[in-house]
Amino acid sequence: MTSRSPLAPPITDQADDIDRVWDVFLYLALGVLAFVVVLVVYVVIRFRRRDDRLPQQKHYNIPLEIAYTVVPFVLVVGLFAITVVTVNAIDDTDTDPDLTVHVTAFQWQWEFEYPESGVRIIGGADTDAPELVLPADSSVLFELESLDVIHSFWITAFRFKRDIIPGTVTEFSVDMSDDAAGEYPNAGVCAEYCGLDHALMRFSVRVLEPAEFDAWLVEQANDQEVAG
């Protein structure tokens, strides 16, 4: 993707992995598409009707048929191997994270809670999109909970989403990259259609250096104590 892309850059180690897998799949897909299109164009030009003769009536070619079954099969096995290796790494939940964030989704806003410090950020109907603040270079565990219907917690900069199913707490963890710090104003959305104002269930992501993050957390905790 070019720099003009609206897609936020990857900010977790997992997202870097996913982007590498994406490249493999993308180039393979484009290759297969190009191969078939070239083949079709060739056939269309080379074998167009020139006279009324009946062409050769060949029904089958067993070696060729085996070949075009085996080659895709081998490709698919390769893709499967890549998938399994990466997906296990992505799906592996870190039980001892640097930070836990408890996300509560409800129609049609988000609440982000930092249980260790009691800080809560709640999006309201009439406020701007809430901002999820995360530390760079740390592992973060997300616990996801829904108060009503199914939502999906999608941060495009993570290249990852996880559905939030009412009645259960789903979770996943990421390792924030060490160079992740920055503002990602369009990175978060609800991806599972959840009713009327589904489209407005957005949030922004801001990643701070670990020290700045700790300071921010303390500041928030103090603010909320005063307010509460």
Number of residues that bind other proteins (CB under 8 A): 87
Q: With binding defined as CB under 8 A, does residue 96 bind other proteins? A: no
Site for other proteins in 113-132 (CB under 8 A): none
Among 12, 13, 16, 90, binds other proteins (CB under 8 A): 90
Q: With binding defined as CB under 8 A, does residue 145 bind other proteins? A: no
- Residue 107 CB, nearest distance to other proteins (Å)? 9
Question: Do residues 161 and 14 lie in contact, with contact meaning Cβ atoms separated by under 8 Å?
Answer: no
Q: With binding defined as CB under 8 A, does residue 169 bind other proteins? A: no
- Residue 127 CB, nearest distance to other proteins (Å)? 16
Among 119, 130, 159, 203, binds other proteins (CB under 8 A): 159
Map 86-102 to HEC letters. Answer: HHHHHHCCCCCCCEEEE
Among 95, 124, 125, 196, binds other proteins (CB under 8 A): 196
**Which CB, 171 or 212, lies closer to other proteins?**
171
- Residue 154 CB, nearest distance to other proteins (Å)? 7
Question: Do residues 107 and 137 lie in contact, with contact meaning Cβ atoms separated by under 8 Å?
Answer: no
Would you mind telling me the total number of residues written for the chain in this entry? Answer: 228
**Which CB, 171 or 209, lies closer to other proteins?**
171
Among 112, 160, 203, 213, binds other proteins (CB under 8 A): 160
Going by C-alpha positions, the residue among 103, 92, 182 that lies closest to residue 137 is: 182
DSSP state of 207: E
Q: Residue 124 burial by CB count (10 A; 0-12/13-18/19+): exposed, middle or buried?
A: exposed
How far does CA 56 lie from the centroid of its chain?
51
- Residue 63 CB, nearest distance to other proteins (Å)? 11
**Which CB, 187 or 217, lies closer to other proteins?**
187
In 10 A of CB 122, how many CB atoms?
13
Collect all residues with Cβ–Cβ distance below 8 Å to 138 and sequence separation of at least 6: 97, 98, 99, 175, 176, 210, 213
Among 64, 125, 226, 227, binds other proteins (CB under 8 A): 64
Among 109, 120, 134, 148, binds other proteins (CB under 8 A): 148
Q: Is the dihedral of CA 1, 159, 147, 97 positive or negative?
A: negative
Question: Do residues 204 and 188 lie in contact, with contact meaning Cβ atoms separated by under 8 Å?
Answer: yes
Of the ranges 5-13, 94-102, 134-142, 213-221, which one interacts with other proteins (CB under 8 A)? Answer: 5-13
What would the x/- binding string for other proteins be over residues 22 to 61, using CB under 8 A? x--xx-xxx-xx--xx-xx--xx--xxxxxxxxxxxxxxx
